[in-house]
Structure 1
């Protein structure tokens, strides 16, 4: 019994798309060529795979049995083909990245998932943690690169590159402050302020902390939930809290006399030589967020 991969591909595509014509479009071949490939496969196997009606094809009992195995062979061949391409183009076996908890959002998830879509044969490894955790993982070689809130300082033994900026907004529970409220800084001193852990790790508390009572967190998504349980407030990236603002779960307010704040995120890695093509793609996707987040702030 002799058969080819092309015959199996033609058969599988015809089963899934319902006709030789649609299978031909999918495989970029002529309809007559697909019909011939399937017919040759039937002759080789000495079975009728399709019952030909005037305007449609009906998969035979033998065809149903063969389809399961043919599909598996075609999928395996596609994986093998992609693996060979990856070897020729020096695609790494894996890509590992660490993300600062306080930066996680759908757009960043899409950025590292884009790597897996572009290079399906690699293993994607994603770690999340506090800012200092991410820095340590990169320094120890546990991950290829990390995305963190900018520490505004150089990091020993690694490169840190500003990758995008984003506006921040002061938010509170609707039970505490009305949307658009303007308050004096002194009015906030007696209420709890939720502060991202990186502020202390970067020694920025003298510039950032206003209230006498502090709640420290490394998870801003969880911090939004805290706002609804007590009279507290926090300063957070607009792109993180915007869905909650749109749903009126929290309110944005302003501090009188305060200027708009812009925060930065950085990519960190040990050296240019340690960054793979997968890391390059992730970098490109993350860089594109700068314009996106600025637009969301307008």
Structure 2
């Protein structure tokens, strides 16, 4: 039965152009390479190389098998890397839950770095309303969560403050509020307000209902879509609206009670007393920097 070493001889001989070059690369004598490939041909019952020329060349059948052999060698290398990662106690799967508003460009860069640092650890990103994330972490459905700070402290999770995210009041450029030079709370009351609410009906404490007419969604992407359809006004994170302001696709509300953008505190959370392997530990430390 053929083995991995013989497949490697086939691939190296084909790519280097000769049995002698293959022997030099693998640190063997040429006769060992010739015999190894001859045995492979017997096992497969296929002539892999045309030896009638000065340098052996792949036959059509050999060309076909060469590609399969190369794929097998690649899979073997991946298997060895996975085994090495397991030996280092790297987690096979990491689950990260976050509010969609916190999926910033810097977070995307961090996840790319994670993929390069831990190529054999799978990552599941779960986007939820902040109000739903603590329960996911507490129950083990997520390893790490990133949320807007909840004033009602949950003692069953560990919290780490990592920074603030700025929010702006916005509406569609053709919305009635866009014609006003300044706005107070009374001006906002008649117009539909768009608010975030979790799957279980919990609302963000930071955004009170000002209007008598409120619509809810469980993600800021959905709220942004509704604003772009001129359905109502809302508050959205800075990184989601900056370009849209510049492109005149969104209008910033000139509310008199917002001398500066609203800054919401962001917390990183994990299950109480949770122990992290190498991948989780690296990711947790990296997440502390996404708002710097």
Q: TM-score range by the shorter chain?
A: 0.7 to 0.9
Displacement of 1:238 after TM fit? Answer: 0.7
SS at match of 2:98: strand
If the length of structure 1 is used for normalisation, what is the TM-score?
A: 0.74
Tell me how far apart the structure 1 counterparts of residues 63 and 34 of structure 2 sit (CA, whole Å). 13
- Measure the CA separation in 2 of the matches of 1:229 and 1:69: 52
1:24 aligns to what?
none
* Aligned residue number for residue 167 of structure 2: 168
Contact 1:180-1:252 within 8 A present in 2 as well: no
Q: 1:253 and 2:253 equivalent?
A: yes
- Matched with 1:278 is 279
Greater helix fraction, Structure 1 or Structure 2 = 1
* Whole-Å separation in 2 of the counterparts to 1:258 and 1:162: 24
Change (3 A) 1:34 1:249: farther
Secondary structure of the structure 2 residue equivalent to 1:232 = coil
Counterpart in the other structure of 1:45:
37
**TM-superposed deviation, 1:10:** 8.7
Distance 1:259 1:49, change over 3 A: farther
With over 3 angstroms needed to count, the CA separation of the structure-2 counterparts of 1:69 and 1:155, relative to structure 1, is: same
- 1:192 aligns with 192
Distance 1:138 1:265 in 2: 16
Aligned to 2:290: 289
- Residue 95 of structure 1 contacts residue 122 of structure 1 at CA under 8 Å; is this kept in 2? yes
- Whether the 8 Å contact between 1:3 and 1:41 is mirrored in structure 2 is no
Superposed CA offset, 1:61-83 (max 9, x none): 24422323322322222222212
Whether the aligned pair in 2 keeps the contact of 1:170 and 1:234 (CA below 8 Å) is: yes
The TM-score with structure 2 as length reference comes to 0.75
Which piece of structure 1 moves more, 60-69 or 31-40? 31-40
Aligned to 1:194, the other structure's residue is in SS state strand
* Alpha-carbon distance in structure 1 between the residues aligned to 2:9 and 2:243: 45
CA distance in 1, matches of 2:175, 2:13: 60
- Alpha-carbon offset, residue 192 of structure 1: 1.4
The answer for unaligned runs of 5 or more in structure 2 is: 39-47
1:123: how far off? 3.4
Q: Distance in 2 between matches of 1:279 and 1:164?
A: 20
Q: Cα distance, 1:148 vs. partner?
A: 1.5
Name the residue aligned to 1:155.
154
Task: Quote the Cα distance in structure 2 between the aligned partners of 1:118 and 1:92.
Answer: 12
Residue 43 of structure 2 corresponds to none
Q: Which stretch shows the higher mean deviation, 106-115 or 218-227?
A: 106-115
Q: In angstroms, what is the RMSD of aligned CA positions?
A: 3.9
